[in-house]
A and B are shown apart, each in its own frame.
Chain A
Amino acid sequence: MIRALRWLFFAVVARLIVLVVLGLNVRHRERLPTSGPAIIVGNHNSHLDTLVLMTLLPLGLLPRVRPVAAADYFLGKGLLSWFAINIVGILPLERRPVRGMDPLAACSSALTQGDILILYPEGTRGEPEELGAFKSGIAHLAARCPEAQTIPVYMKGLGKALPKGEGLLVPFFCDVFVGEALRCDGNRRTYMASLQAAYEALAQEAGDRRPLRVTAMPPT
């Protein structure tokens, strides 16, 4: 029942919002993954980001797609929490883990099962249409699951359509640029550097010049 509702939501409501109300110009669609395990990395400006990334993938992959979302924001708020868990199918992530617990355990076990994760390394939506610093948690995850490919996706315009703190959706066409897949060979620093380079190239292709900062990597 819930699975049917989830399918219906993404087949009808999400596609109506993303493709008709908004409208997408997708560059390099062929670079999207056709199967898991994979990590789709997005820049985060709006709640719409997740709807857009999930609409890019075929409906057949829907049961495999899990957006990683902040546990403190999405869990425990009644209806929002029910919707996030059951319909969107989020994988909750503890942004401030307590000592001794492994915040990435759920993510890496999902990847081991062959799931496709959607991850926002900025950690938060931040200022509209600004690219914030990437946190290095993604490198830890990619290093644990070397078989998972990472696909960077740069989205532009969604922070105009529905920025943080606004409830009113204003239609705009949005641009989506899909980058080439990366893999982590175990070295987290080179992985972070190539992810950063991929984002800079995509931002340049989109006509944006945004310096990207990477949060300092803890000593390994």
Chain B
Amino acid sequence: MDALAVSPNVLWVFAAICAALLCASAISALLARGAGRDGHRELRLRVRSWWLMVAVFAAALTLHRNLTLIFFAFVSFLALKEYLSLIPTRRSDRRVLFWAYLTIPAQYVWVGMEWYGMFIIFLPVYVFLFLPLRMVLVGETTEFLRAAGTLHWGLMTTVFSISHVAFLLVLPEARNPVAGGAGLVLYLVLLTESNDIAQYLWGKSLGRRKILPKVSPNKTWAGFLGGVVTVTVLAVMLAPYLTPLDPLHAGVAGALVGTGGFVGDVVISAVKRDIGVKDSGALIPGHGGILDRIDSLTYTAPLLFHYLRYLSF
């Protein structure tokens, strides 16, 4: 894939995203006019941040394959850093944490080499075995299990899961003639983020019965089901332009993203509740931290990747 050699379908879908964002900007501007100076400030910030994120993502995805890989490696780095800054870490583990950061470039190099075997076992097997060894060499046994467990959970979520988005990019182009790997990445990310937004909107407008009141008091059954239906419809509509899926398989993919996205969201909510913070950070105005934005992706990326790989590759 050479510079700007992405399929025109990918560019058309980005154009459609821009149109949707224009609508969102217009609606938030109208709402703000009705509500006075500070009204809907959060919404305006949120839409503005969406514009920026879409611009960066579009540039990273369309300019060059390696740029896309570096972009997702950087997302993993920001997410892991945010996670390690939130959880309690032991001072004696400084060097262990440094090794944990080094797994990021390694994991994305396996993706760049299209070395599936190494990509899929590196973190769950080799890193899982190596980091406790490094901790033993330090010799601190107080809170050992908690330190080893929380570190590995963080790596699986922020590096292993997210790197699946990048591996979609390097799947053989020939099996997805309509849009190539970039089309699959866009399909996954667009469905996941639409699901987040759809669940929020359905929940705000119709939501009454709480689904998991102890973990996430704002999540309702209407939000969850509305999101799943919306994203299933969207998945079927987009599939012919971006994927090799037939309508039935695309519908299942949509339901998978809708359900997985919800689970990823509430799992990260449970982690934040455990730590005692509302947002994971303040990196993205109106959204919170990077983990708040990619929480659902930590579930949808591996789920959709293995579903697609089983069906088509």
Residues of A participating in the B interface, judged by any CB pair closer than 8 Å = 23, 25, 128, 157, 160, 163, 166, 168, 170-174
Contact = CB atoms under 8 A, between A and B. Distances in A.
Contact of B94 (A23, A25, A168, A173): A168
A106 B3 CA distance: 57
B85 A170 contact: no
Contacts of A25: 281-282
A128 B85 CA distance: 15
A170 B82 contact: no
Interface stretch (B41-49, B95-103, B118-126, B219-227): B95-103
B91 A172 contact: no
B283 interface: yes
B91 A163 contact: yes
A173 B85 contact: yes
B97 A170 contact: yes
Contacts of A168: 94-95, 98
Given A128-B91, A157-B85, A160-B89, A173 B98 contact: no
Nearest to A166: B94
20 contacts: A23-B81, A23-B283, A25-B281, A157-B85, A160-B89, A160-B91, A163-B91, A166-B94, A168-B95, A170-B94, A170-B97, A170-B98, A171-B77, A171-B81, A171-B84, A171-B101, A172-B85, A173-B85, A173-B281, A174-B85
A157 B78 CA distance: 16
A17 to B, nearest CB: 13
A25 to B, nearest CB: 5
Interface in B128-163: none
Contacts of A174: 85
A172 B282 contact: no
B186 to A, nearest CB: 26
Contacts of B98: 168, 170
Contacts of B78: 23
B140 to A, nearest CB: 15
Nearest to B82: A173
A204 B81 CA distance: 24
A160 B91 CA distance: 7
A167 to B, nearest CB: 11
Chain B CB within 10 Å, residue with most, of A160, A166, A174: A160
A128 to B, nearest CB: 7
Contacts of B94: 166, 168, 170
Interface string B65-95: 0000000000001100110110001010011
Contacts of B84: 171-172
A25 B281 CA distance: 8
Given A160-B89, A166-B94, A172 B281 contact: no
Nearest to A162: B94
A157 B91 CA distance: 12
A205 to B, nearest CB: 14
